[in-house]
């Protein structure tokens, strides 16, 4: 499979990337790890005239855990996330989720920035970032702005990022309490049939804060405020979990595809959300 | 579109090839450099038959443009064996029946080589998880896992003997 011809660019800094994006508009695409974009180019399902490779761009790497604040550069790979001890200590849900993405070869290449910016509802990191209440930094011709992950996704592959903007980093507060990322997939390398990210904080035997989000159950990642609220103040026992799952299921809108009909998606969603809450609670 | 000169160090040798940006690394390795060890299986990032080592990472060379690898160090299955003959992993696959048709084997061994560098003493579960990006349609994987575990044990034994 040979993709259509394109021009290749390898700028050294963010300014160079923005200049290319401004010059070529929607004919240009940035490539980080390329393991979503290149397969699409090979299938000729996306038309890229100018490919802007980010590998040499300064300032897009690095994982910083500074007190309560965690900052991750867009070019950090899933492999790096998995092997960073400070990050795993501060926010273990990232490792748990990254280990469930694709396969080892893909995790060496796939980046967190590409995963969250692509807008593919099947990608796992967006739901995680919604769960954690992360903020994305976007840099464009008019400077830098910050967008809450919960406000970033508009529809499948459609985000609030402008064509001339680059997502450069992700920041979030170190989460407290227990965590879980539960994913059901047909095989290694597949996207989720359904997946759920949960963080729960416990004090004196009761849940004091909870955040629940889901992957591939709508055309965007879904954060269910109601599901979290249903857990707060409870002992996260079977009745509370049932109420939270019911609330979460009201916030999703799965569609039929080769992973199954809507009824099956909802059934799997119910199972993974319940398991994620129970596991997060058990670790809290 | 504009061709450019791509510099690659493959199995310790420097190469320069003139290629279009859209040429995949696997095609450049096989068709320009005549390194036909890495195979084209699915060509859709699933099977791992095209796995090569790129700057210390196991990658599927069907999903990287050669131009992205400009300046990179690459090892293919051709570079795994030493002057003394087969690498321990290759010998182990042979002894433990880790291949039948052999199509997946170059990718399997190249991936296992990196896996053992990162985790010299893996459990069976580590091997199965670490090899999950490589598909085999013959063996049922059992003997591949056995081959890799045996190679790890042998490498560790000879390291201990040397110390």
* Predicted complex: ipTM over 0.90: yes
Return the SS3 of A43: coil
**Residues of chain B neighbouring A104 (CB-CB closer than 8 A):** 58, 111, 115, 129-133
Per the listing, tokens 């903007």 go with A165
Residue A191's pLDDT is 96
Domain boundaries, chain A: 7-53, 63-173, 184-283
Please state, in angstroms and as integers, the Cα–Cα distance from residue B116 to each residue in B3, B13, B88, B126, B155, following that order: 37, 24, 11, 10, 9
Residue contact B68–A55, C-beta within 8 A:
yes
Residue A1's pLDDT is 83
B91 neighbors B136 (Cβ within 8 angstroms): no
Q: What average pLDDT does this structure show over B13-19?
A: 98
Split at pLDDT 50, 70, 90, the class of B2 is: confident
User: How far is B73 from A269, CA to CA, in rounded Å?
Assistant: 44
What average pLDDT values come out for chain A (284 residues) when binned by 10 residues? 95 98 97 97 95 98 96 98 98 98 98 98 98 98 98 98 97 98 95 98 97 98 98 98 98 97 98 98 98
Residue A258's pLDDT is 94
Return the CATH number of the domain spanning residue range A7-53.
Answer: 3.30.43.10
Residue contact B45–A8, C-beta within 8 A:
no
Residue B84's pLDDT is 87
Name the strand (E) or helix (H) holding B112.
Answer: helix B105-118
pTM of the full predicted structure? Answer: 0.97
Q: List phi, psi (to 5°) of A27.
A: -85, -10
Residue B145's pLDDT is 98
- Domain A184-283, second-level architecture: 2-Layer Sandwich (3.30)
Residue contact B63–A55, C-beta within 8 A:
no
Name the strand (E) or helix (H) holding A125.
Answer: helix A125-132
> CB contact, 8 Å: A278 with chain B?
no
In Å, how far from its chain's centre is CA A62? Answer: 18
Structure confidence by residue, pLDDT tens digits, B125-163: 999 999 999 999 999 999 999 999 999 999 999 999 998
A17 neighbors A54 (Cβ within 8 angstroms): yes
> CB contact, 8 Å: B125 with chain A?
no
A168 neighbors A14 (Cβ within 8 angstroms): yes
Return the CATH number of the domain spanning residue range B4-79.
Answer: 3.10.20.30
B109 neighbors B92 (Cβ within 8 angstroms): no
Residue contact A106–B2, C-beta within 8 A:
no
Domain boundaries, chain B: 4-79, 88-162
**Residues of chain A neighbouring B43 (CB-CB closer than 8 A):** 1, 42
The CA-based dihedral angle spanning residues B111, B141, A98, A261, taken in that order and rounded to the nearest 10 degrees: 140
> Minimal Cα–Cα distance from B109 to chain A, Å?
13
Task: Decide if domain B88-162 falls under CATH 1.10.150.120.
Answer: yes
Residue A56's pLDDT is 98
User: How far is A73 from A175, CA to CA, in rounded Å?
Assistant: 18
In CATH terms, the fold of domain A63-173 is 3.30.465
Interface of B with A in 17-36 (CB under 8 A): 20-24, 27
User: How far is A180 from A235, CA to CA, in rounded Å?
Assistant: 17
Nearest CB neighbour to A5, from listed B1, B63, B129: B1
């Amino acid at each position: 499979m040979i993709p259509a011809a394109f021009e290749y660019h390898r700028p050294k800094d963010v300014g160079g990337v923005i200049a290319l994006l401004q010059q070529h508009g929607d004919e240009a695409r940035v490539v980080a790890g390329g393991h979503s974009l290149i397969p699409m180019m090979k299938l000729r399902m996306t038309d890229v005239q100018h490919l802007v490779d980010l590998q040499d761009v300064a300032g897009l790497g690095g994982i910083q855990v500074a007190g309560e604040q965690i900052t991750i550069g867009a070019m950090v790979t899933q492999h790096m996330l998995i092997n960073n001890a400070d990050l795993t200590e501060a926010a273990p849900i990232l490792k748990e989720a990254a280990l469930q993405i694709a396969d080892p070869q893909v995790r060496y290449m796939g980046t967190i920035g590409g995963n969250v910016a692509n807008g593919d509802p099947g990608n796992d990191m967006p739901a995680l970032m919604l769960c954690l209440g992360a903020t994305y930094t976007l840099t464009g011709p008019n400077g830098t702005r910050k967008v809450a992950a919960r406000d970033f996704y508009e529809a499948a592959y459609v985000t609030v990022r402008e064509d001339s903007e680059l997502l450069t980093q992700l920041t979030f507060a170190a989460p407290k309490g227990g965590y879980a990322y539960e994913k059901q997939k047909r095989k290694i390398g597949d996207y989720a049939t359904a997946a759920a990210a949960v963080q729960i904080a416990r004090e004196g035997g009761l849940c004091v804060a909870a955040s629940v989000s889901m992957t591939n159950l709508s055309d965007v990642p879904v954060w269910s405020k109601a599901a979290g609220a249903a857990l707060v103040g409870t002992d996260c026992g079977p009745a509370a979990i049932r109420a939270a799952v019911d609330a979460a299921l009201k916030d999703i809108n799965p569609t039929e595809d080769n992973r199954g009909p809507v009824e099956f998606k909802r059934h799997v969603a119910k199972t993974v959300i319940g398991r994620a809450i129970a596991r997060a609670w058990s670790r809290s | 579109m504009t061709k450019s000169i791509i510099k690659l160090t493959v199995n310790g040798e420097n190469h320069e090839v003139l290629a279009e940006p859209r040429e995949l690394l696997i095609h450049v390795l096989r068709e320009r450099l005549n390194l036909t060890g890495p195979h084209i299986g699915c060509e859709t990032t699933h099977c791992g038959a095209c796995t090569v080592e790129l700057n210390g990472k196991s990658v599927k060379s069907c999903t990287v443009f050669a131009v992205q690898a400009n300046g990179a160090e690459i090892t293919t299955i051709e570079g795994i064996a030493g002057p003394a003959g087969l690498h321990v992993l290759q010998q182990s696959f042979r002894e433990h029946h880790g291949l039948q048709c052999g199509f997946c084997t170059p990718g399997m061994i190249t991936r296992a080589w990196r896996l053992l560098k990162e985790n010299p003493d893996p459990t069976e579960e580590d091997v199965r998880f670490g090899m999950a990006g490589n598909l085999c349609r013959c063996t049922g994987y059992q003997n591949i896992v056995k081959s890799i575990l045996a190679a790890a044990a042998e490498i560790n034994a000879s390291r201990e003997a040397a110390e």
